[in-house]
Structure 1
Amino acid sequence: MRRTAAALGATIMLSACAWSNAGLPASADETTEDARDSDVILNMFQWSWTSVAEECGSTIGPAGFGYVQVSPPQEEIQGTEWWTSYQPVSYQIEGKMGTREEFAEMVQKCDEAGVGVIADAVINHTTGADTGAGTGTAGSSYALDDFPGIYGPEHFNDCREDISDYTDRDNVQNCRLSSLQDLATGSEEVQDTLAAYMNDLLDMGVEGFRIDAAKHMPAEDLAAIKSKLSDPDVYWVQEVIGAAGEPIQPSEYTGTGDVHEFDYGRQLKSAFGGSIAGLDSIAEGKLDSEDAGVFVDNHDTERNGETLNYKDGDTYTLANDFMLAYDYGRPSVYTGYTFEDFDAGAPGSTATEVGDASCGAEEWTCTQRLPEIQGMVAFHNAVAGTEVTDWWDDGDNNIAFGRGEKGFAALNNTEGEVTNTYRSSLPAGTYCNMAAGTDCTETVTVAEDGSFEAVVPAKGAVAIDVEHME
């Protein structure tokens, strides 16, 4: 049953009961007693709640992912375009992805599969000023500076113009991002409203947040909001797109949680489009590993050309292999749908609803179903907590490295297979090649001195670890 905006107004002011459950590790290099078995996040862009629930049990949990990141769970404006999900009308958990009941069931089913849920939280703004008035996907009305029972003119920043100068901190954090009505997140009343929404999600079992457009909110505002949560130590990762010469930098936001390291994905695109030999220095000049959320692509960068995406085929898969094999940041694997039109919503979308995802249909990328990805998630989990050792490269597009005495990976970014002898710190034995999948159809034999010969396929990898041996 869909609740009215008036009912929401009463709901969001209720103080949430304290809720605790397994959280993400404190950092990419640390674990806590009650943490999920893996820190790998699967970003499920525009997947309905019922589709996520089903996939958690059938694929995501068994594959070893620790978390799923889901699209924003709030009422949004109507429209088939994907970006309508990022224009909140109210904080009802009723929207295009499904109902409140379906969301709660998704969280429960994912938890039963060993998977936590991270919610994409849109708290910087509401709807676009250019859209004027309308009715949201759950029936709530809205207009310029007017969200009945939630926000009025006093809850928005005074600047009513679009951002025009990214070298001006005040302009970036107080004016409108692409016409989106900018909330006055420094206001305690706004902070209370946003914290109540997030506490509602925590009460439902959500274990973390991705903070959309974090760059457009002062870091101290976000710290104040987080302090009002029922679990102020809850994991979150913040979207802060850094650029040289700008006054607002990702490092400002690490005090409250992880920050997405956009330069990581950019460098992967450059390297896999040229030479991967220099990837041993990929952490240089970036956020500390324990503060960085990393990805090959996300819903924005796959569309704007900033990173690789599914259209890059085997190169894209290989870049994900590297991310899962190497020791830097907290990895997020992306799964969405195919597109030609930048604005196109998920397959079968209507103005108020997103249809269920289907991995049997070509329109959905279903990266999590690829044998290579599932195998590399298992490899990542097996070598967690180890440093990169025994780096080797040919100066161009073949690299190899160990993960201490637990694992070893070799990547070939050329169009032909490569046979090579590698030297590892692994004990002797016969190992499953996890880069080929989890069924151990391919094996590698390591000698007493840690050396082994392997044939690395074109645009492919070999990855072995001590937890997956014959």
Structure 2
Amino acid sequence: MRCQKFAFVLAISLVIAFNFPGLAQVAEQPVAIFHAFNQNYNDVKKFVCELADQGYSHIQIAPTQKSNSSQKWWARYQPIDYGVIEGKGSQEDLRQLIAQAHECQIKVIADVVFNHMANLGGGDDFEDLSKFPGLSKDDFYSAPGNPGKKPCDINYNDGNRNSELNCWLGRLPDLKYTANVKKIQKAHLKKLLDLEIDGFRFDAAKHMPADVVKEYVDYINRESKGSTWNYLEVITDSDTRAGDYKWIAAVTDFILYNSMKAAFTFGGDLRSLRIPIAVDDSRSVTFGRNHDTIREINSSAINPYDDPSDSYLATAYVLARESGTPLILNWDHADAPYIKTGVKFRQIMYQRSKAGGNVKENVLATVDSSTVLLIERGNEGVFVVNKAAGKFDIPILDLTLTNIEGCYRELRNNFTVAVQHRQNGKKFVTRWGTQNRGGMEVQGRDALYFIREPWQQCQIDS
């Protein structure tokens, strides 16, 4: 398996080197991304170094361009002028945030909004296109003979992607990718790269032609010499598949989100996640929830959870997996203590993998429950989540057919678990927090992360 993985990485590197001979490196996939959703750059600067200590490798900031002046979060996704950095801070504020993050070994991902411009009070079907500096009526899709008039509505179920690409997203005037638009948007990318931004998220990428997105990503790669890590917001639907864009860069995994939503909500079965339905790409950006799925802030929320705590447990699962690139919403990071633990667990698994350890993910059927999921990460780590309200408690846990063996420490509660062979050749949990009990005990609505420790640690705790 490791030889296959090496061959795959080598092949990708050769393809990139052939197509972009000036690239100095290939950006490393993030360990975990903290989404500083709608936060001011100066506020983020104050705690960014704490994120590094907690295990995050990247932070994603709010869109930087001058936008709709409303204080609502969605206004940041309604651009007015790509030539000006304004909204959650000035250009100098952003420069200082990036510098502080880099001092702490945190990389910064910028959110760019290139599909459309702002709705500035022209109504649902009309916008004054003269309000956007540098752009003209020829840079927008409009009704024939009526510049600024909305040309059509998007149909996500008509069997083609024409309306997704050429119609307005709600009330937002849709951009054509004229030479002028590309020049302005590439200048925005260059401004951010000159400020030493480390990566980009492309908002509403599925509403942009794939060849244009590819052109922008290629431009970023050339200008950064391959040092940036980029991903695309692609919300899959009847007409758009992840495969339409994942050949360009990593995409958001709304397929896994829907799978987790079904499993973690009341009545769902966690056994469905033994082989989860997800985007077939280990780079894909995974999340328990994001700003597009929260009903309280989004009237058009995508498949929202009724109980936010279900999404916290889904986030815990995302952090335990080997595959994917976890994106953690700032609110959830603050609200659920086991999420911070999950970030540290993921960092440790990453470090041990780099050191040659076995961290391969495997969901264990030895616990056959609709409300409890047990995952081994090779012999280096263990994760268990209990979504039920009540405690899960079993006196005996047979782990014979697993890689788990030795002493493990739970990162948040700091207790140890021992897994040993018995005379019959089978492996059992012989210690769970105390030598007086084996099996497994997990409180309701909780997630636990264990890392392998020297055997002496279990002896000390005795």
The TM-score with structure 1 as length reference comes to: 0.77
Cα distance, 1:73–1:22 mapped onto 2, change above 3 Å: farther
1:426 partnered with 2:404: yes
1:178 partnered with 2:178: no
Computing the radius of gyration from Cα coordinates, the structure with the larger value is 2
Q: Which structure is higher in helix share?
A: 2
Conserved? CA contact 1:156–1:184, under 8 Å: yes
Q: Aligned letter for 2:324? A: G
Superposed, 1:272-421 pairs within 5 Å as 272-273=264-265, 274-282=268-276, 284=277, 286-303=278-295, 304-307=300-303, 312=307, 314-335=309-330, 365=331, 367-368=333-334, 370-384=336-350, 386-389=359-362, 391-392=364-365, 393-420=367-394, 421=396
Conserved? CA contact 2:113–2:202, under 8 Å: yes
1:191 partnered with 2:182: yes
Cα distance between partner residues in 1 of 2:258 and 2:163: 26
Conserved? CA contact 1:89–1:126, under 8 Å: yes
Shift of 1:391: 1.3
1:23 partnered with 2:32: no
Cα distance between partner residues in 2 of 1:468 and 1:121: 46
Shift of 1:22: 8.7
Choose from 130, 133, 141 the match for 1:157.
Answer: 141
Shift of 1:305: 4.9
Choose from 83, 87, 106 the match for 1:96.
Answer: 87
Superposed, 1:212-227 pairs within 5 Å as 212-227=203-218
1:169 match: 161
3-state DSSP of counterpart to 1:410? strand
Cα distance between partner residues in 2 of 1:464 and 1:441: 9
The RMSD of aligned alpha carbons is 2.6
Q: Aligned letter for 2:113? A: V
Task: Give CA deviations for 1:179-235 in whole Å, capped at 9, x if unaligned.
Answer: 2111112x2332222111011111111111111111111101111122223137432
Cα distance, 1:114–1:412 mapped onto 2, change above 3 Å: same
If asked which structure has higher relative contact order (CA below 8 Å, sep 6+), I would say 1
Shift of 1:425: 1.8
Task: Give CA deviations for 1:32-64 in whole Å, capped at 9, x if unaligned.
Answer: xxxxxx52111111111011111112x211100
How many residues align structurally? 390
1:87 partnered with 2:61: no
1:242 partnered with 2:236: yes
2:418 match: 445
Q: Aligned letter for 1:117? A: V
Cα distance, 1:468–1:224 mapped onto 2, change above 3 Å: farther
Cα distance, 1:256–1:417 mapped onto 2, change above 3 Å: same
Q: Aligned letter for 1:237? A: Y
Task: List gaps (5 residues or longer) in structure 1.
Answer: 1-17, 26-37, 133-142, 336-364
Cα distance between partner residues in 2 of 1:395 and 1:158: 55
Cα distance between partner residues in 2 of 1:413 and 1:334: 20
Shift of 1:261: 1.3
Conserved? CA contact 2:338–2:448, under 8 Å: no
Report the identity percentage. 23
Cα distance between partner residues in 2 of 1:466 and 1:128: 54
Report the more deviating stretch, 444-453 or 265-274: 444-453
Task: List gaps (5 residues or longer) in structure 2.
Answer: 1-21, 144-149, 354-358, 430-438, 458-462
Conserved? CA contact 2:64–2:88, under 8 Å: yes
Conserved? CA contact 2:271–2:369, under 8 Å: yes
Conserved? CA contact 2:204–2:234, under 8 Å: yes
Cα distance, 1:228–1:316 mapped onto 2, change above 3 Å: closer
Q: Aligned letter for 2:364? A: W
Shift of 1:20: 7.9
Cα distance, 1:425–1:48 mapped onto 2, change above 3 Å: same
1:35 match: none
